[in-house]
Chain A
Amino acid sequence: MTAPTTEIKNERRIGAADVHPLPPEIDYSCRTPLTLLIACSLLWLVVSLLFSVLASIKMHAPGMMAGVEALTYGRVAAVASSTLLYGFLSQAGIAIALWLFARMGRTFLILPNAAIVGGILWNLGVLAGVGGIMAGGMNHFPAYEMPSWTTPIFIVAFLLLGLSGLLTFVARTERELYPSTWFLFASFFVFPWISAVAYLLLGRYRIRPVLEPIISTWYANQFVLLWLAPIALAVIFYFISKLSAQPLYSRQLAVFSFWLYLLGATASGFQNLVAVPAWMPILSSTVNWLLAVPVAGMLYNWYHTWAGHNRAKKQKDVSSKYVVFSAVAFLVMTVLLGMLSFRQIDKVVGLTIFVTGVSTWTLYGFIGMAFFAAIYHIAPRLTEIDWPSPRLTKIHFGLTAAGLVLVTLALLLGGYVQGAGINTPSLPFVQVARRVVMFIGINSLGLILMLVGQVGLLWNLILMLKSCAIRCCGAGRKEVAR
């Protein structure tokens, strides 16, 4: 019989009957670092959406707050993007990865104090980056807008967090590796590498500036498809199997998909650049089509693992909707990337907000939703308290999904209108911009819906943490006093 967790943490388990620690014990070992990371990441998500809404509104009301230098459109957009990528997605991704390493390896989290220090450093880095952007030190690279001097903070923070995660992997008691672990391994390998490239070549060393667009596009692509996306894929692989209580349909297919996805994703990213040597857009376009193969493989695997099994449990679990949304979003993302790689389509929508729409869909719809699925599952297990408001969880999914679909459709359609307008030489450019304003308005509306949803999630988490704090610290002391 398993004793309650509060007793287990103070006792050493004796006897060889159990080879692995119990899940609640593992969750307990992860508690402080992961709660810190998840709470801070959701806070940054709300901040990011606030800035996104501000940026979107500024686009159709351009005179608004124009006198405030720190809030000029360019800087606001950069803050929104940076806090989303580094404040929410990366941080939540690391938290989820650490938890998955511990749970899948069936071992306690190693070096939790290093993870706490790393988490604090990471947040300080994001804060410094936001301050740097608003003070006028921003970079002009797509996924690397925070000033270059903040990157060493992230590198040191990741060294600590990465050590924690990878040593947890090394310390595993479960020798068989599940596909999720391979993907997490890939992420943790890619991030320091691309950070080193970005910091040294784009920040510290003086390289020929003509190389900047190439290196920054490479970095942006690797960041999304090889740092964030594999964590999301790891989440989907894990939850597809867990929630349907089925083993993965085909391990060989997963191996094949993993390596082919990696090979393909590393060469992607240049499909829309114009001024670079032509072999780069052509290579990326071709590879984007090839990516259909591993993506189809993964979807096939997931579908056969998921469909028809364990319907009751899946319906009860909050994470199911998010996992399914994320998996479908992954398919849609691949299709959109394929469309962008098709020259006839790129002629019209390349260099328009269509590309922004694809990127937004990827970051929120595919990666963000997968991370929400994981957070909804992990947070109650860390705090040992269930989500206080089931109504807020329902609202969160509805608002986020509705807002995201609205935003993406607005940007995709608006991009098409914009591109068609640009390709009509007789149309003055200002008229093209005016035609897009309506779509930007819908984009603002969608972002506001998403913002409200995320505030709901954050509020839910705050209530949960409050209950946890009362239980761990307040209630105990009150009883003693009596």
Chain B
Amino acid sequence: MANHGTYNSPGGFKLTIYGIVIAACFLLMFYVVRGMYIKNNPGRVNSARAAERVKARNELREKTTTALLQGGMIDTNKGIVRLPIARAMQLTVEAYQNPEAARSNLVARAQKAAEPVAPPSFE
């Protein structure tokens, strides 16, 4: 580049500025196209319906995950609780260390639970 001053052509500084401007124009073209796309793109034909279905799926997943994994009270009056399956198995194993005691009030508990209850929240 040192020779250019001799030949009456712009020096290094001016060329660098022009270089940056030209590179910026190149990149600007991408942004113009991108801007047009973002402003005008209507999305896929069934994008509204697809969004509905995704929302419904997420809601369903949330509810079923809660029902399956989270503990909680179902009916405080009757003492009905929701337990993760593993925890229920644990409790059963513990209770049945003494099988006689565990079986003693089984019928009474079942009858009490059989009374009509409000349906669980996820139905």
Contact = CB atoms under 8 A, between A and B. Distances in A.
Q: Do chains A and B touch in the complex (CB under 8 A)?
A: yes
Interface of A: 12-14, 16, 18-21, 106-108, 110-111, 159, 162-163, 166-167, 170-173, 192-193, 196-197, 200-201, 205-208
B9 A172 contact: yes
Interface of B: 1-4, 6-10, 14-15, 18-19, 22-23, 26, 29-30, 32-34, 37, 41-42, 44-45
Contacts of B44: 206, 208
Contacts of B34: 200
Contacts of A196: 29-30, 32-33
Given A192-B29, A206-B44, A207-B41, A163 B9 contact: no
Contact of B8 (A12, A173, A193, A200): A173
Interface centre among B6, B10, B14 (most CB of A within 10 A): B6
Nearest to A210: B45
A21 B3 contact: yes
A400 B81 CA distance: 88
A107 B47 CA distance: 56
A39 to B, nearest CB: 26
Interface centre among A12, A19, A196 (most CB of B within 10 A): A196
A14 B2 CA distance: 12
Contacts of A197: 33
A107 B9 CA distance: 8
B19 A167 contact: yes
B46 to A, nearest CB: 11
19 contacts: A12-B2, A14-B6, A19-B7, A108-B3, A111-B19, A166-B18, A167-B22, A170-B18, A171-B4, A172-B9, A173-B9, A192-B26, A193-B29, A196-B29, A196-B32, A196-B33, A200-B30, A205-B41, A208-B41
A201 to B, nearest CB: 6
Interface centre among B1, B3, B22, B42 (most CB of A within 10 A): B22
A22 to B, nearest CB: 10
A197 B29 CA distance: 9
B37 A200 contact: yes
B33 A200 contact: yes
B26 to A, nearest CB: 5
A159 B26 contact: yes
A206 B41 CA distance: 9
A321 to B, nearest CB: 35
B22 A21 contact: no
A14 B33 CA distance: 49
Interface centre among B6, B10, B26, B41 (most CB of A within 10 A): B26
Contacts of A162: 22, 26
B4 A208 contact: no
The 3 closest A-B pairs by CB, nearest first: A173-B9, A170-B18, A171-B9
Contacts of B14: 170
